[in-house]
Copies of this chain bind each other. A is one copy, B any other.
């Protein structure tokens, strides 16, 4: 079976005895084509197994129907929820996601953004507000709507749908302090890769200092992405070094759950001996025993709002007045940090 070329509108047209233009019209709706002709064309399409070639249409129309998206990791429920919200919000408008992941690396982000822009997306959504200089130039020069999400960049490229990771981390510190904890540690990934994680750590430090507390219990759990296993290992290291720690704030619920399990293995009771808080409102934080105090950044809402921003920018839906939408994360106090 030699890979014969797929049929084109020409082939349909020849078979039905009309011009390719009529085929083109018949395949879209809202166009005026004789009902019988249209039916004949439908039939021919079926018989020949014709599949519309959007690459050709894209070139001709200078519209691809792509919205490019970069996320740090494909294996992260928070970002997955954002992508789902975004995808669902765009699909009714014929827009399709072109997704890539950066592995928490700005150089990979730069390469990815360039690769994505070659596909001529109609808009581009990037997770985070930190980019290489060239990446920034690429985004600015693309002449398409740019949305930075999951962050509040100081100098946004275009649209922003995000929240302050630092403020959200501060909410957790305030809560832990309010329940009487003073010796509080922060567990996160190594600095320099995950800028949202770095912001959360900065927010932890700032809040601790605001309360006049020692902010030096900072544990690096490894190169992002860090997850449950790293959280457990870091917790063990922490409790060996500083057994008097009263509370642990983790950069994500996944680490926090790892911390919880390590406490269980070490026979340390949570929250009596140590309080644990996470970040992200992952499903596990709600269901584990005890459930984890966390912050909900509304990942899916970020996606939906980003979709709204894109649609507005493309003139496909009424546009919002502001180019900047700040989501208010919600503190969720659960048993893992009870007083």
Task: Please report A residues at the B interface, Cβ cutoff 8 Å.
Answer: 3-4, 6, 49, 51-56, 58-59, 64, 74-75, 77, 80-81, 83-84, 87, 96-101, 114-115, 117-120, 137-138, 141-144, 227-229, 232, 254, 257-258, 261, 264-265, 283-284, 286-289
B residues in contact with A100, CB < 8 Å: 96
Determine the distance from Cα of A313 to Cα of B25 in the docked complex, in whole angstroms.
36
Give this chain's copy count.
2
Determine if B287 and A258 form an interchain contact, defined as CB atoms under 8 angstroms apart. Answer: yes
Q: Is the CB of A118 within 8 A of B84?
A: no
Contacts of A77 in B (CB 8 A): 75
Instruction: Select from chain B the residue with minimum beta-carbon distance to A117.
Output: B51
- A118–B51 contact, CB under 8 A? yes
Q: Is the CB of A142 within 8 A of B84?
A: no
Determine which of B119, B265, B289 lies in contact with A261 in the assembled complex, contact meaning CB atoms within 8 Å.
B289
B143 with A115: CB separation less than 8 A: no
CA distance A83 to B101 in the complex (A): 11
Report whether A54 and B228 are in contact in the complex, using a CB–CB cutoff of 8 Å.
no
Most buried by B among A55, A100, A141, A265: A55
Whether A265 and B289, one on each chain, are in contact in the complex, defined by CB atoms closer than 8 angstroms, is yes
- Which chain B residue shows the least CB distance to A263? B289
Interface contact B51-A142, CB-CB below 8 Å: yes
A241 to chain B, nearest CB (A): 21
Say yes or no: A284 contacts B284, CB within 8 Å.
yes
Q: Can you list 19 pairs linking A and B with CB atoms under 8 Å apart?
A: A6-B142, A49-B138, A49-B141, A51-B141, A51-B142, A55-B119, A55-B120, A74-B80, A74-B83, A74-B87, A75-B81, A75-B84, A87-B101, A97-B99, A99-B99, A229-B283, A229-B287, A257-B287, A261-B287
